[in-house]
Amino acid sequence: MRQLRGDSRGILEPAGLMRRVRFRRHLPAAPLRPWVEHYWLVDWALTEPFEQRVVAHPAVNVVFAREGDGPEHAEVAGPGLSLFSTTLADTGQVCGIQFRPGGFHPFWRRPMVELTGRRRSFADLADHWPPAAAPSPAICAGTDAARCRALDDLLTGWEPRPAPVTDEAMRLAEAIRTDRNVRRVDGFARDNGLSVRRLQRLFLSQIGVGPTWMIRRYRLHEAIERAAGNTPDWAALAAELGYSDQAHLIRDFTAVTGVSPGAYADQDRARPSSRRH
């Protein structure tokens, strides 16, 4: 049985976020679980604006959001290549769908690389899915159970089309995520009976990013999580994650997060909290 992820990977300074908002995850209806990682819901009431930064997973998110008394709006966020930042202020709600890497392809039915690094209005993409997939005008309203039912109904109406090639890409992506011994694309391709070129084409079409990028992103997610509020042994961590040396890990960490590992380890403790209602 699928279990909800309990980590905070990808969320920079997660303790600061959790002090300010109500954040929770829910599993989708059972028929949708082969493609959907989880639903994520956020509600906030802040006395001052708060900036949240995220190092994205190699996956698509469909996000419904409402700020204050404004209208609900929705977007499709492809696999993000750069650091994402958003500022929360006053009151608001978000209902998000995080797909598994490759899990959006049965709904999108086009090369995933078309969405990589892009955020598209849900309404602008309406021609890509059936009328039954039109979202409710108020997905962010109501209880958690009501929100999850609305998301279940949306995805079911989308009429996803499974395909063996998507299943293969998702299986390989899961192996990269969970197996720390996967460090080089050539060996990984060989172990799975594929050429490097075939593996790269498969990932770009079904997931939207290449396998080398995915390997580095997942290893950095782990390094970022280990560093939140702590000072790990960077040399030992670099070796554990398959980096050639500590300097290489530190360069990657700084390039992706925008701060050095030492500075990041102190930031979450240093930020003052905002009162949550």
For the chain, give the longest Cα–Cα distance. Answer: 56
Tokens standing for residue 99 = 């797909």
Average pLDDT over residues 147-155: 95
Q: Is 229 exposed, middle or buried (0-12, 13-18, 19+ CB in 10 A)?
A: middle
Task: State the pLDDT at residue 180.
Answer: 84
pLDDT one-digit tens code per residue, 169-202? 999 999 999 998 898 999 999 999 999 999 999 9
pLDDT in the model for residue 87: 96
- Report CA torsion sign: 42, 173, 181, 242: negative
Q: Is 12 helix (H, G, I), strand (E, B) or coil?
A: coil
Specify the pLDDT at position 274. Answer: 40
The answer to whether 104 and 155 have CB atoms below 8 angstroms apart is no
In sign, the C-alpha dihedral spanning 23, 94, 177, 265 is negative
- 96 touches 143 (CB < 8 A): no
Residue 273 pLDDT > 50? no
Structural domains in the chain, sorted by start: 14-157 (2.60.40), 164-269 (1.10.10.60)
More confident residue, 249 or 274: 249
Tokens coding 221: 């997610």
**Residues in CB range of 167: below 8 A, 6 or more apart:** none
261 has pLDDT over 90: no
Of 116, 112, 76, 114, the residue nearest 207 (C-alpha): 112
pLDDT tens column, 31-69: 999 999 999 999 999 999 999 999 999 999 999 999 998
**Segment among 66-70, 91-95, 229-233, 234-238 with least mean pLDDT:** 229-233
The sign of the torsion formed by the CA atoms of 158, 128, 55, 72 equals negative
